[in-house]
Chain A
Amino acid sequence: MTRWGMVVDTDRCTGCEACVVACAEENNVQTVGEEEAKKGRAMHWLRIERAVEGTFPEVSVKFRPVMCQQCGEAPCEPVCPVYATYHTDEGLNAMVYSRCVGTRFCANNCPYTVRTFNWFDPEFPEPLDRQLNPDVSVRVDGVMEKCTFCVQRIKEGQRTAKGEDRDVEDGDIQPACASACAAQVFTFGDLEDPESKAAKLSKSPRARHLLADLGTLPGVIYLEDQEWNPGTDVS
């Protein structure tokens, strides 16, 4: 069996947001414009959370990329009335855009607030429409979307391996964020394969889940010295 997972080493993150851009390009995520973004409708599947520590001049900044945590016990899944979001055999929380009716219940029940919604039909003004990724469908208004671990790249990797009559090897598959990251923050792989780099890193003493006490069993593992929740102490 396979369980796709991602190890995110926050201590390596420089906050450059190359992953955010790569994600949007790879997955045809629409840009909503300034007005909509102000209303809280920006659509990034991946965000960089920031926390400033200390006071000037002794200041340091921590960054944490947060995307769909691909939970093993995902709160978003049971609440969908139409199975638009469901669990695959490979441990992914899949989204079926054409099945979604837009109740937005999944997004309310996601403790990580990583689901984004198409409030209007997407617009890709010239020349953005020429760089749409043909491997990923463009979503219409009224449906939910979120990080898929670049499922199209996973499928591509599996097809290639099958064509070459071999198993998928660790490192064959790289989501867009991982391949764009200069600091090598992201390590993607099969958590069930004890030899994979991701599985080994996930055994690190620095490994922890985000909001682990909710019991959602995320497939994303953070390497950080202690969990921090930016904004909690901001009044």
Chain B
Amino acid sequence: MTNDLQERENRLVGRLSLDRFRPGLVVGAGLTGLVALVFFYAWGIQLRDGIGVAGINRPVFWGVYITTFVFWIGISHAGTLISAILRVTGAEWRRPVTRCAEAITLFALSVGGLFPILHMGRAWKVYFMLPIPNSRGLWPNFRSPLMWDAAAITAYIVGSFLYLSLPLIPDMAILRDRSKGWRRRVFGLFALGWQGSAQQWRSLESGIKVMAVVIIPLAVSVHTIVSWDFAMTQVPMWTSTIFGPYFVVGAIYSGIAMLMIAMALLRWGMDLGDYLSDKVFNNLGLLFCAMTLAWGYFTFAEHLTVWYANEVAEARVLWSRFTGKWAGPFWTMVIVNFVIPICVLPFRWGRKPLPTALVSLGVLVGMWLERFLIIVPSLELPRLAYTLGDYTPSSIELMVLIGSVGLFAFFYFAFTMNVPIISVWEVREGWEHENSHSGAAAAAAAPQTDARTPEPAGGGS
């Protein structure tokens, strides 16, 4: 039985093929790296010439940058939150998904976290927002939702990093034991002296459990606070009591979409179909479908109440979305975010890799539009209508948007090149559970002292 497990592990590590040159990944990283350069080029121009190179104006003081910020922070809810919920509820099929989901979180946060700095008029003064003791006795204003943002996102990045790193330790040890030379030393460094002792396994398991429980409220709070950047104001159609949960639902929705695309690409590009199996797509597809309904419900509730109450300033914003200037993007959003998913995802054929990936692409576009439509029309139509606004994104803003996608993808390619994108030990632990359930032979198996093998969590019963 141990030999069989070993063979299966060998096959998985072989598929991940971290020791071989993989042209697909290298080309992908190279191309997306070039796109990422566009991001820094555009930001450089903006730092040189002034924030005026963006299309924002008075009264539309926020535009593509804040939209994209919310978009990426939303994407970050894919990984950690889903992985944590599945871990806490003990869903066995999660095992191949966790790592590639958690990586999305970390990189989406890293990219999204740049935007609040990028959108500042004076990005080089960002340290004014840090609570650094200074001679003027000035402290950041913790009444500002932007400070809550900074605190929540920082906590979430740290938490996600720990939550991604902890389960990486045994995998790094596996790679260390399988490599030679400098690679062995590098992997050994990241394995943090992992020997696979019972004590180490106990510490790791409890660490992961604690992080999984901590990360769920953290993730919920992050996007709630992002929504409060809007909901705490007096701006028409921003000040809404349901924005917290509405944004959290939208975030998870877009996060699953990104995860579905990443999983489909990994499956095709690295031949991981045995692990990221149809069953995994089917189960995540069901969650995806549930989030479609939840998002549709919130969107309906939000617009219906504003329409019915018909308050002057809010109704103006509403009709600019329904039939006015922004009707095109609005109805596009409704179609790609609700109509298409609801026609595909409830069916078993719709939860296969290709259909879900295509639906997910639409959802990503739709969720970006959703944030744009929340931010821009409200700012274009302030209460004193003498100062009506008009906003068109500038080329710099679009370059930053596209570049940020490149930056995210570059991080993800680079990560996949260097780290097992499927958690080897967790998948192996799953096989052990299967075996121990399926036969007495497993229960009678010799005690494991192998450095790479966890003790069966259930005590082998």
Q: Which residues of A contact B (CB under 8 A)?
A: 36, 39-42, 47, 49-50, 66, 75, 78-83, 99-105, 107-109, 111-113, 115-121, 140-144, 210-211, 214, 229-232, 234
The contact sample of 22 A-B pairs, CB cut-off 8 A, is: A40-B60, A42-B58, A50-B386, A78-B144, A79-B233, A81-B129, A101-B121, A101-B128, A102-B51, A104-B56, A104-B61, A107-B58, A108-B61, A109-B234, A112-B383, A113-B58, A113-B387, A117-B121, A119-B50, A119-B51, A231-B385, A231-B386
Q: Are B384 and A211 in contact (CB under 8 A)?
A: yes
* Any A CB within 8 A of the CB of B59: yes
Contacts of A116 in B (CB 8 A): 58
- Distance to closest chain B CB from A71 (angstroms): 11
B140 to chain A, nearest CB (A): 6
B138 nearest CB neighbor, chain A only: A83
- Asked if B386 contacts A101 (CB within 8 A), the reply is no
Residue B49 lies at the interface, judged by CB distance under 8 Å to chain A: yes
Does B388 count as interface, using CB distance less than 8 angstroms? yes
Q: Which of B119, B144, B146 has the most CB of A within 10 A?
A: B144
Q: Are A81 and B146 in contact (CB under 8 A)?
A: yes
B348 at the interface (CB under 8 A from A): no
Q: How many A-B residue pairs have CB under 8 A?
A: 149
Answer yes or no: B145 CB below 8 A from chain A CBs: yes
Knowing A120-B52, A142-B50 are in contact, say whether A40-B150 is a contact too (CB < 8 A).
no
Known A101-B120, A142-B120, A231-B386: A107·B143 in contact at CB below 8 Å? no
Closest CB in chain A relative to B99 CB, distance in Å: 35
Q: A112-B384, A117-B61 are in contact. List 15 more A-B contacts (CB 8 A).
A: A49-B384, A66-B386, A78-B141, A82-B141, A101-B126, A108-B59, A108-B62, A109-B234, A111-B235, A117-B58, A118-B50, A141-B121, A143-B121, A231-B384, A234-B385
Q: Are A41 and B235 within 8 A (Cβ)?
A: no
Cβ–Cβ contact B140 & A81, under 8 A: yes
Q: Which of A40, A108, A113, A142 contacts B51 (CB 8 A)?
A: A142
Contact A99 B128 (CB under 8 A): yes
Count the B residues whose beta carbon is within 8 Å of the partner chain — how many? Answer: 47
Complex Cα–Cα for A103 and B62 (A): 9
* Most-contacted residue by chain B among A99, A108, A109, A214 (CB, 10 A): A108
Is B329 an interface residue, CB under 8 A from the partner? no
CB distance from A198 to the nearest CB of B (A): 23
Determine if B146 and A120 form an interchain contact, defined as CB atoms under 8 angstroms apart.
no
**Residue in A40, A49, A66, A103 whose CB lies within 8 Å of B59:** A40
Is B5 part of the contact surface with A, judged by Cβ < 8 Å? no
CB distance from A106 to the nearest CB of B (A): 9
Please name all residues of chain A whose beta carbon is closer than 8 Å to the beta carbon of B145 when the two chains form the complex.
Answer: 79, 105
The reply to whether B144 and A81 contact each other, CB–CB distance below 8 Å, is: yes
Given A108-B62, A111-B383, A112-B384, A119 contacting B122 (CB threshold 8 A): no
Q: Given A40, A83, A210, which contacts B390 in the complex, CB threshold below 8 Å?
A: A40
Rounded to whole Å, the gap between the CB of B203 and the closest CB of chain A is 39
The interface centre, meaning the residue of A101, A117, A234 with most chain B CB atoms within 10 A of its CB, is: A101
Chain B residues within an 8 Å CB radius of A210: 384
Q: Using A36-B52, A104-B61, A121-B50 as known contacts, say yes or no to A83 and B121 having CB atoms under 8 A apart.
A: no
* Residues B36-78 near A (CB distance < 8 A): 49-52, 55-62
Q: Give chain A nearest CB distance to B459 CB in angstroms.
A: 52
B358 at the interface (CB under 8 A from A): no
Q: Decide if B121 touches A102 in the complex (CB within 8 Å).
A: yes
One of B129, B232, B383 near A82 (C-beta < 8 A): B129
Closest-by-CB residue of A relative to B392 is A39
B460 within 8 Å of A (CB atoms): no
Q: Which residues of A contact B61 (CB under 8 A)?
A: 104, 107-108, 117
Please, which residue of chain B has its CB at the minimum distance from the CB of A113? B387
The answer to whether A104 and B62 have CB atoms under 8 Å apart is yes
Q: How far is the CB of B373 from chain A (nearest CB, A)?
A: 16
State in angstroms the CA–CA spacing of A121 and B48 once bound together: 11
Cβ-closest chain A residue relative to B136: A99
Q: How far is the CA of A115 from the CA of B61 in the complex (A)?
A: 10
Residue of B nearest to A101 (CB): B125
Chain A residues, Cβ within 8 Å of B386: 47, 49-50, 66, 230-231
Give A214's nearest chain B residue, CB to CB: B234
List the A side residues contacting B116 at CB < 8 Å. 103
Chain A residues whose CB sits within 8 angstroms of the CB of B146 once the complex forms: 79, 81, 103, 105
Distance between Cα atoms of A142 and B385 in the complex (Å)? 26
Q: Distance in Å from the Cβ of B141 to the closest Cβ of chain A?
A: 5
- Closest A residue, CB atoms, query B390: A40
Tell me if B57 and A80 are in contact (CB < 8 A).
Answer: no
The distance from the CB of B45 to the nearest CB of chain A, in whole angstroms, is 13
The CA of A131 and the CA of B152, in the complex, are separated in Å by 47
* Candidate in A81, A100, A230 with the most chain B CB atoms within 10 angstroms: A81
- Flag if A102 contacts B122 (CB, 8 Å): yes
- A229–B385 touching, CB < 8 Å: yes
A-chain residues with CB within 8 Å of residue B385 when the two chains form the complex: 229-232, 234
User: How far, in Å, is B309 (CB) from chain A's closest CB?
Assistant: 15
Q: Judging by beta carbons under 8 Å apart, are B147 and A118 in contact?
A: no
Say whether A81 contacts B150, CB under 8 Å. yes
B50 surroundings in chain A (CB, below 8 A): 118-121, 141-142
Do A105 and B144 form a contact, CB below 8 Å, given A40-B59, A40-B390? yes
Task: Digitize B144-186: 1 where CB-to-A-CB distance is under 8 Å, 0 elsewhere.
Answer: 1111001000000000000000000000000000000000000
